[in-house]
Structure 1
């Protein structure tokens, strides 16, 4: 009787079968190695892609951060004098009032000195972005005008600035102080006016 080895499945294997099993084992190992290598390449590619995506997001976040910091810095430097300019507005108001109420001859040295001082101060403040809001005769704009009273005027359309009571100013495009104004309204018609028409 021939001696045969028993295989894993419980069948008897012959000598030729052993070579087939070795060849199959070798091919299986090679295929398994290739699969493992392919999976490793895929995993490496996915990991690389994920790292690249993280890098791109971080780069974009940092770029946005730099832009935000630069924008904040520009705005800070642009509006850094705001409180100083606001504190100087009463000085402008007082110089204008002094000229308006000057009871003496406008050709005197004091009045001329105040005029020169006022003009020089206005020019200097304009260099730093301060601009007077035009009000007299303009249409009332609640964004830049603050209505203090209504005045009946026949010579003006409704909702026009009849008189500027205190000057308003813009600091760059921002309202630093609104103009205090009186706003025109049509006169109320009395019964006599209605009957005469």
Structure 2
């Protein structure tokens, strides 16, 4: 009887220990589950942020493409009209040089100005070339011209005008670019000038 009473506290202590271990294991398991859940939520949040950023970038690109489409929708038409401008300017030049006619010259000039004015309203701007430093972004070099009258790499001749549509080069200007004269050419020019002076004095 006394032995049975002594065994009961030991049994209760053992049961309490087992219960504590089980409780500790459950707590550890729950903590692990919470950490896993936190990690999963963090990963899901990161994916959401990346997807949202990608979507925002896509919207910006789509909006920019749509804007460019509207801005440059008439680009092909502008190119064709530039040919008309070239012909008008050429006609005006020949009329002025070969067969001056005030009424015809005035009419062509007026038509040309009105056409350019309309195109300017739609974003077409003439590229400034003559006297400007050569810029390969807007100038297309057709030739090099030896001269001492301007700095090297300066546009000294314009073969065909260039144009910019809004912020895009629609057609580069075809130009002649200055370069330094060779030493032999300078000597020839000097001799020719001396001969001219001598001839004038003799006369």
- 1:161 corresponds in structure 2 to 155
1:5-34 CA-partner distances (Å, limit 9, x unpaired): xxxxxxxx9333221222122222222222
Q: How does 1:32-111 map to 2 (within 5 A)?
A: 32-102=25-95, 103-108=98-103, 110-111=104-105
Normalized per residue, the structure richer in helix is 2
- 2:187 corresponds in structure 1 to 190
Task: Name the TM-score, length of structure 2 as normaliser.
Answer: 0.78
Could you say if the C-alpha distance between residues 23 and 111 of structure 1 is closer, same or farther in structure 2, counting changes exceeding 3 Å?
A: same
Structure 1 residue corresponding to 2:113, chosen from 86, 94, 119: 119
Stretches of structure 2 that go unaligned for 5 or more consecutive residues are 195-203
Instruction: Give the alignment's Cα RMSD to 1 decimal.
Output: 2.7
Q: By how many angstroms is 1:186 displaced?
A: 4.4
- 1:16 corresponds in structure 2 to 9
Q: By how many angstroms is 1:77 displaced?
A: 2.0
Query: Matched residues in 2 for 1:192 and 1:144: separation?
Result: 34
Stretches of structure 1 that go unaligned for 5 or more consecutive residues are 5-12
Structure 2 residue corresponding to 1:140, chosen from 108, 127, 134: 134
3-state SS, counterpart of residue 177 of structure 2: strand
